[in-house]
Structure 1
Amino acid sequence: MTALTLYALTGAALIGLGLYGLIAARHLLRRIVAFNLLGSGLFLYLGAAGARGDGPDPVPQALIITGIVVALSASALAVGLLVAGARLSGRATLPEEAE
């Protein structure tokens, strides 16, 4: 097993954990963390995919750096909206579904 295969499998595992967290978590902050975990797995997988061949490909590296900046700003916005929503409603979880 090469290092690139290990990175790709680790990225796939992080993507799976992030998807599970998005589906299973009721607390909105946990969903934000799960979404960030999913994004980190995608960045790791994209980096492993871009490193194949003769040398590193600069396009996936540029996409990863841009994605990290966008993910950081989106996470800050999501946490800010979560705090504002929690102040208004008094809770930071999703409402119960009507059965």
Structure 2
Amino acid sequence: MTVYLSLSGVLFLIGLHGFFTARSLLRRLLALNVLTTAVFLLFVVLARLAEPLDPVPHAIVLTGIVVTVSTTAVALALVVRIAGRVRDEDDDAAAGPRGDAG
């Protein structure tokens, strides 16, 4: 049981470190997913300690996983969209000013 608690703590710290040190939005999103995985693991471990076994935390974790997958998909779509706009702006800046050659 203590192995899972320590694993949850390590995953949480890795997620925090990755979120605050990464510059890329994609890496921040992945770090946030590692962080939520640590929280889910902590909930499951703490639910296991209760006697009798309480199913409510497990249901909350399942709901949290569904919400996390959904928000990750939306966030990933936003990251792709932002990257496309930044790339377009960089291409426009590299092309230089446009003048009429008339």
Q: TM-score under structure 2 normalisation?
A: 0.82
Once the 2 structures are TM-superposed, how far is the Cα of residue 72 of structure 1 from its aligned partner?
0.2
Q: Which runs of 4+ in 1 moved over 6 A?
A: none
> 1:51-70, aligned counterparts within 5 Å?
51-70=48-67
In structure 2, how many angstroms separate the alpha carbons of the residues matched to 1:58 and 1:83? 38
Structure with a larger share of its residues in helix: 2
Q: Which has the higher contact order (CA 8 A, sep 6+)?
A: 1
> 1:76-91, aligned counterparts within 5 Å?
76-90=73-87
Count of aligned pairs between the two proteins: 88
Q: Unaligned regions of 5+ residues in structure 2, if any?
A: 89-102
Q: Unaligned regions of 5+ residues in structure 1, if any?
A: 92-99
In structure 2, how many angstroms separate the alpha carbons of the residues matched to 1:39 and 1:53? 22
Larger radius of gyration: 2
SS of 1:26's equivalent? Answer: coil
Identity %: 38
